[in-house]
Structure 1
Amino acid sequence: MSEQHLEPITIRPAVRADAAVLGSYGASLMALHNKWDPARFIPAGSTTPEKYASWLASQIGRDDVIVLVGEDRDTIIGYVYATLEGPDYMALRGPAGVIHDLFVDPQRRREGDGRRLLEQAVTMLAGKGAPQVVLSTAYKNNGAQALFERIGFRATMIEMTKDCERPDLAQSASD
């Protein structure tokens, strides 16, 4: 941990005023995944931060949604987005908490902030009745996978992708 970040972050529920920062982080998350595998993950476009911000803002305050931010001296340094979901027959699972996004500013990684955000989300999902918590992680995201394993997650699925010749799909998804 660097000297300037000795105090633990404050974790709090997101508010609509946080949306612009969260949208920027969401776009960064998309760009990172696209960098790892551009054939699988859609690229972030010029309007992605605003669209992501609007969408996350629409989720804030829902009973079945958790959006938390990590804050250090009034600066948001990361967020987690999770949902409480019923059975999902396509995913072959029963009711669960689902972690959809976990992002920490690259300048603040490896300081425990992502772990704190994730643990708080898991605790809240369990408190809302989730019998288990699931998440997906990019195949090349070894750092995140190691974090998830340290917290107690175990590998249960491997997504596999076969690319078809459809160049029109990637562009339309990011617009």
Structure 2
Amino acid sequence: MPPSDAPAPTIRPAAPADLPVLGRLGALLVRVHHDFDPLRFIPATPETERLYAGFLGTQLQEPNVVMLVAERDGEVLGYTYAGVEGNDYMALRGPAGVLYDIVVDPAHRAQGTGRMLLEATLAELAARGAPRVVLSTAERNENAQRLFARAGFRRTMIEMTREVEGDAG
């Protein structure tokens, strides 16, 4: 944990040079979710960091994507990945900003970095015309749920999962 007089992180757009760290953080996200519910969430593999970084790299120049990083002294502490989407009839919603990922390195949590990333992402989505922002969070991710509730998010959907019995193959 940095000293209390450490400067606040800078929030900036993600760049290609950030991708290795974003891949590591994305793989962390995969591992944490799999630990929450291994039947619902995919496991991380030795390739997850590289594949996640590669995927995020394809999103950097997408016009409807917002990808921000929190950085202090040249070190990326966390990131958000979000997008502006049109009508989604499967989700029964109109145009919205969608927050896909928000993750802060565990060594830098509980210092306001997640809140700063979330606020900057919400502002950028609003600037791009998103009339609302939606997100999903794992049922067991209580820390994230507290962050989102403090930021004014309300519960609107509950995902439920059931395994199909028998051989699917």
**TM-score normalised per structure 1:** 0.92
Q: Which residue of 2 aligns with 1:17?
A: 17
Q: Which residue of 2 aligns with 1:73?
A: 73
For residues 130 and 19 of structure 1, what CA distance do their matches in structure 2 show? 26
The structure-2 alpha-carbon separation of the partners of 1:167 and 1:71, relative to structure 1 and needing over 3 Å to count, comes to farther
**Which runs of 5 or more structure 2 residues have no equivalent in the other structure?**
none
**Superposition map of 1:91-106 within 5 A:** 91-106=91-106
**Superposition map of 1:159-170 within 5 A:** 159-165=159-165
Does residue 121 in structure 1 map to residue 121 in structure 2? yes
The structure-2 alpha-carbon separation of the partners of 1:5 and 1:48, relative to structure 1 and needing over 3 Å to count, comes to farther
State the Cα distance separating 1:61 from its structure 2 match: 2.0
Q: RMSD across aligned C-alpha pairs, in angstroms? A: 1.6
For residues 60 and 125 of structure 2, what CA distance do their matches in structure 1 show? 15
Q: Which residue of 1 aligns with 2:35?
A: 35
The structure-2 alpha-carbon separation of the partners of 1:149 and 1:74, relative to structure 1 and needing over 3 Å to count, comes to same
Q: Which has the higher helix share?
A: 1
SS in 2 for 1:31: helix
- Matched letter for residue 97 of structure 2: G
Aligned length: 169
- Matched letter for residue 110 of structure 2: R
State the Cα distance separating 1:36 from its structure 2 match: 0.6
SS in 2 for 1:88: coil
SS in 2 for 1:83: strand
For residues 156 and 8 of structure 1, what CA distance do their matches in structure 2 show? 33
For residues 167 and 71 of structure 2, what CA distance do their matches in structure 1 show? 40
Moved over 4 A (4+): 166-169
**TM-score normalised per structure 2:** 0.95
Does residue 136 in structure 1 map to residue 136 in structure 2? yes
